Structure 1
């Protein structure tokens, strides 16, 4: 009887040891929020109001966000969090870059470890800047951020900018940059 208890105990310990690497290497959960867009303001805007992104730019905002999600998911470094349950709250908080840190609370609600926010700053019709920030939800601390200049307001130029930023700044092999 003692041999069977020792064998059972040994089997349990071996199972825990075998499972430990998979537990230790669990990818952090990343919430990727919709990309916001900041439009240039002119003197006329004080009278007519600032117009938002045009329909093509609205489509590109979704396209760029989807590309970010795809690249981060494919990296294997992160588990992408489904934000569908809090989509109405996110929509109500937009633009996220002006919500004074609400993205951390919303990401915590979605049980994410990290939250990614992004902003397209439309400098002119042909020059845009994409800035991405990744924040640790538990510590409310910025852990990574990077920007890229996008030259051209087309689907191709936006995707090129996103891919370059992910490859050269956000998912580099040496993340100590």
Structure 2
């Protein structure tokens, strides 16, 4: 009888695990779209790198993260993943991802910026999530808080 119960629990837990498989997500790096009259700074580029780590950490519990390293050469040849006519979908599929994500920060001025983030279905190109938040102030803290708000309060609010 104990064996039957243990076997039933094992079968049930195996079914539960497979039903809860997380979607495979390829996350491409944030880019900076500078439409201001001010030059981009090294600090802003460093902030972009921190956003990349922040988004990876935030999405890790919702997705199985796919390594995009094999696409670095292809990514270096395009000006912007936002306007590459679906190349992000091709790269995601080539990596075995079911979904693809990318983001950008638009610098309107040193005071006004916005953080944008999109998740698409890699097979169909359908937009699953797309959000944007305006931030005030071009600081490490404003960028970090802007992305956190976008993800937790707008995109994945429970």
TM-score with structure 2 length normalisation? Answer: 0.87
Q: Decide whether the 8 Å contact of 1:114 with 1:137 is kept in 2.
A: yes
1:17-96 aligned within 5 A: 17-40=12-35, 53-73=40-60, 76-96=61-81
1:167 and 1:126 mapped to 2: Cα distance? Answer: 23
1:61 and 1:69 mapped to 2: Cα distance? Answer: 13
1:14 shift after superposition:
7.8
Which blocks of at least 5 consecutive residues in structure 2 are unaligned? 1-6
Give the superposed CA RMSD.
2.1
Q: How many residues align?
A: 153
Question: Are 1:137 and 2:122 an aligned pair?
Answer: yes
2:72 and 2:90 mapped to 1: Cα distance? Answer: 13
Moved over 2 A (4+): 13-18
Q: Decide whether the 8 Å contact of 2:117 with 2:130 is kept in 1.
A: yes
1:15 shift after superposition:
5.7
Residue number in structure 1 paired with 2:3: none
1:94 shift after superposition:
3.5
1:158 pairs with 106, 129, 143, which one? 143
**CA distance 1:26–1:54, change in 2 (3 Å):** same
Q: Deviations over 1:85-139 (max 9, x none)?
A: 1111122223111212211111111111111111111111111011111000011
SS in 1 for 2:48: helix
1:18 shift after superposition:
3.9
Which blocks of at least 5 consecutive residues in structure 1 are unaligned? 1-10, 43-49
Task: Decide which moves more: 13-22 or 106-115.
Answer: 13-22
